[in-house]
């Protein structure tokens, strides 16, 4: 549906339903084990906020964030990734789920995965709200995936274009002008 700000690709309700399903899957997979969610800032903050509340209270959950950058204000990948904010907690011996907004080239994920693996995480899985098709450098499966989307630049639900539109309640494609 076309709106004043872009065309809606995934509605609020579709997102809500899917995140509930992901939360249920995580709750089942982790049973009574403590899980450590590592959100990749900034894009994942809204997804993580909903996902953590969709996980059963029987699963103890820890959360921390890392900020890495692989995009400037452009809509193409630079191919370089920097750690801008590191974790405050240790992941050594922990069962970690990396929470990412979108997997495009997969470089961000590959980089974060390698860092957390080198720090001795006991297990590492990935939850990503969105996945773009083809060519991801992260070759492991994405364990908890919200939606596969076409190869378009999307905004909303935490995702930005030049730091804007993160507050849109759904996922939208900005109209070409």
Name the residues annotated as catalytic: 104
Q: Tokens 């995480």 sit at which residue? A: 121
How far CA 153 is from CA of 12, 68, 161, in Å, comes to: 18, 19, 8
Nearest alpha-carbon partner for 80 in 101, 105, 102: 105
Separation between Cα atoms, residue 84 and residue 68, nearest integer Å: 5
Minimum CB–partner distance for residue 160 and ligand IMP (Å): 6
| Contact pick of 61, 159, 168, 171 for ligand IMP (by CB under 6 A) | 159
> Which residue, 30 or 124, is less far from ligand IMP as judged by CB?
124
Q: Is 153 in the site for ligand IMP (CB under 6 A)?
A: yes
> Which residue, 22 or 99, is less far from ligand IMP as judged by CB?
99
Q: Is 106 in the site for Mg ion (CB under 5 A)?
A: no
How far CA 108 is from CA of 33, 64, 66, in Å, comes to: 27, 17, 11
Q: Is 43 in the site for Mg ion (CB under 5 A)?
A: yes
How far CA 49 is from CA of 31, 126, 132, 152, in Å, comes to: 20, 16, 22, 25
> Which among 9-17, 87-95, 115-123, 150-158 is the span making contact with ligand IMP, rule CB under 6 A?
150-158
Q: What does the DSSP 8-state code read for residue 141?
A: P
Site string for ligand IMP, 65-94 (x = CB under 6 A): -----xx-----x-----------------
Cis, bond preceding 42 (omega within 30 deg of 0):
yes
Q: Is 48 in the site for ligand IMP (CB under 6 A)?
A: no
Minimum CB–partner distance for residue 5 and ligand IMP (Å): 14
Q: Are 49 and 65 in contact (CB under 8 A)?
A: no
Residues that bind Mg ion (CB under 5 A): 43, 101
Residues that bind ligand IMP (CB under 6 A): 40, 43, 70-71, 77, 100-109, 153-155, 159
């Amino acid at each position: 549906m076309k709106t004043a700000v872009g065309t809606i690709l995934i509605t609020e309700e579709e997102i809500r339903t899917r995140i509930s399903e992901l939360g249920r899957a995580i709750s089942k997979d982790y049973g009574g084990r403590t899980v450590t969610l590592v959100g990749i800032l900034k894009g994942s903050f809204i997804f993580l906020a909903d996902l953590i509340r969709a996980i059963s209270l029987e699963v103890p959950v820890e959360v921390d964030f890392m900020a890495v950058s692989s995009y400037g204000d452009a809509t193409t990948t630079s191919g370089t990734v920097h750690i801008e904010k590191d974790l405050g907690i240790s992941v050594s011996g922990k069962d970690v789920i990396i929470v990412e907004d979108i997997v495009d080239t997969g470089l961000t994920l590959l980089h974060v995965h390698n860092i957390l693996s080198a720090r001795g995480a006991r297990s590492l899985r990935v939850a990503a709200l969105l996945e773009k098709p083809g060519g991801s450098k992260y070759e492991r499966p994405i364990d908890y995936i919200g939606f596969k989307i076409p190869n378009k630049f999307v905004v909303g639900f935490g995702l930005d274009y030049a730091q804007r539109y993160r507050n849109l309640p759904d996922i939208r494609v900005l109209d070409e002008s």
